[in-house]
Structure 1
């Protein structure tokens, strides 16, 4: 229409678009400069990328190099041993026990954390009276330091502590939770679960609130029970969140250190000697830094393998990409 009007007035369409009614020429806005925008984006991202490289990638490469050597930091000597540390590691029964303890701990934390977090989120999603206080109670451990949390549980799990005191009132003799090899690792699982369940609860609550209520109501009209509606509708729709929390919980549980050091010191025996604590004792107590570096590389490989296993399995049960 603008071009037709310009033709009717005998004007060049281009001139008509860039000229004012009084004949003054209007300078069009300059075109955006994509190169400048691109470099601006690079400038914003560069500090984070540089931090990851300097604080993550480079130290990890050093760890790989140290794992191929026998390093004596007190004398400064470093002797190349190739895969000697790894051969020694896989023949070490203490390492095998640490792997089993770490996998048991991670599996227990993963299952209990997700089950409790989803259950709490479903309860909170009902919007009952007092829900805000309930939510605060279960989320508060997330913001408490892991040291304070572990020390508190140390008092509760002591032979004459709060839990055994409550059991004694009921006429039950409580076990030595942290001194018995049959209960020590399970106790650490409980401590870790209640420390992090609040965060997953919030994530699941957000996912549940995004599920359209109309779909649930339609399922109820079709005769679906609440349990079937939950498994057939709710769980598939929050599957991406289950995947995300599962991966994060697995990684966090395999990196646990502070509760082990503060509550059991890896004991009794090697019952709670998980891989991060085994690495710590090998490096800073035994001063075997090359051997400890090999433990760190294997721990990284285990975490990476389990993460990739969870990620690749998403095609079977996650119907929405994350």
Structure 2
């Protein structure tokens, strides 16, 4: 007996369900972009936009009286090479940066090491050393301007012990030293706190093991402590170098770049040219030079981290 089976055509497969547009991944991405949108917008408006404008102005010749702007090509950059004041400005900038960075970092590390000791009254001294950081920069500089005058309180104290102090802000050498010291005292507390936090993070077991092996205090500090706090040293170095190249208010209030351009650093010279002489084209060139110097120094420090930062491979 033969059984006949009827073949039925297979049912067409059901179309896959359409995926919703707002998947969890896309919602998370939208939330992320919403959070960073203010920062991105601010970067374009207040960083990238002004930077492009400065570069554009550096190729222009602006006449404020006539209200005209003409393309000047490389004339402003050629003027930079022929400017007779630039050697003095470069010398003052280098002296100020080197003096500030060396003195600030050395003093901050020394204070941090002293305050890291288990002694009575360290909390009071931490407050004293850090308090200038939160003081208004202008008020701080004005107070020091009064103290550094020929008849100021510093010379009065020196005279009380039989020393005839100079007019600190009128001598070419003493003016630069005074500006550096004022800036160091103002900001050394910040680096001190950073170094202090790094010192407190050094494992005591390593120091105790080195002491048991006969290593003295200086050897323990040089071979264990300094390598362990090298990331903080890198951070403070970058912050201090960048801050040294941006100093303006202290020069404006204390010396106005004098005497004989001995304290006329690059930032203040840029201000003089752009807003004093109303030469925006040449001022923009100086701003571009300052930007390039800061970028190169920061990149150099960052590239060298692998050689002297302990945590880098």
Normalized against structure 1, the TM-score is what? 0.88
Deviations 1:211-245 (A, max 9, x none): 11111011100000011100100000000100010
Unaligned runs of 5+ in 1: 1-31
* Pairing 1:134–2:125 present: yes
After TM superposition, give the deviation of residue 127 of structure 1 in Å.
2.9
In 2, are the aligned partners of 1:90 and 1:96 still within 8 Å (CA)? Answer: no
**How far, CA to CA, are the matches of 2:96 and 2:51 in structure 1?**
25
Match of 2:216 in 1: 225
Secondary structure of the residue that 1:74 maps to in structure 2?
coil
Q: Report matched runs for 1:137-216 at 5 Å.
A: 137-216=128-207
Equivalent of 1:115 in 91, 106, 110: 106
After TM superposition, give the deviation of residue 75 of structure 1 in Å.
2.4
Match of 1:290 in 2: 281
Match of 1:280 in 2: 271
After TM superposition, give the deviation of residue 302 of structure 1 in Å.
1.0
Equivalent of 1:42 in 30, 33, 41: 33
Runs of 4+ more than 2 Å apart: 73-76
* Pairing 1:63–2:58 present: no
Secondary structure of the residue that 1:71 maps to in structure 2?
strand
Match of 2:6 in 1: none
**How far, CA to CA, are the matches of 1:90 and 1:132 in structure 2?**
52
Q: How many residues align?
A: 292
* Pairing 1:252–2:263 present: no
**How far, CA to CA, are the matches of 2:190 and 2:286 in structure 1?**
30
After TM superposition, give the deviation of residue 253 of structure 1 in Å.
0.6
* Pairing 1:264–2:255 present: yes
Secondary structure of the residue that 1:183 maps to in structure 2?
helix
Secondary structure of the residue that 2:172 maps to in structure 1?
coil
Deviations 1:272-313 (A, max 9, x none): 111111011111111101010001000111111111121111
Secondary structure of the residue that 1:54 maps to in structure 2?
helix
* Pairing 1:83–2:67 present: no
Secondary structure of the residue that 2:290 maps to in structure 1?
helix
After TM superposition, give the deviation of residue 115 of structure 1 in Å.
0.5
**How far, CA to CA, are the matches of 1:218 and 1:168 in structure 2?**
52
Equivalent of 1:94 in 66, 85, 100: 85
Unaligned runs of 5+ in 2: 1-22
* Pairing 1:311–2:302 present: yes
CA RMSD of aligned residues (A): 1.4
**How far, CA to CA, are the matches of 2:223 and 2:291 in structure 1?**
36
**How far, CA to CA, are the matches of 1:186 and 1:83 in structure 2?**
37
**How far, CA to CA, are the matches of 1:44 and 1:110 in structure 2?**
37
Secondary structure of the residue that 1:182 maps to in structure 2?
helix
Secondary structure of the residue that 1:78 maps to in structure 2?
strand
In 2, are the aligned partners of 1:147 and 1:258 still within 8 Å (CA)? Answer: yes
Distance 1:321 1:41, change over 3 A: farther
Normalized against structure 2, the TM-score is what? 0.91
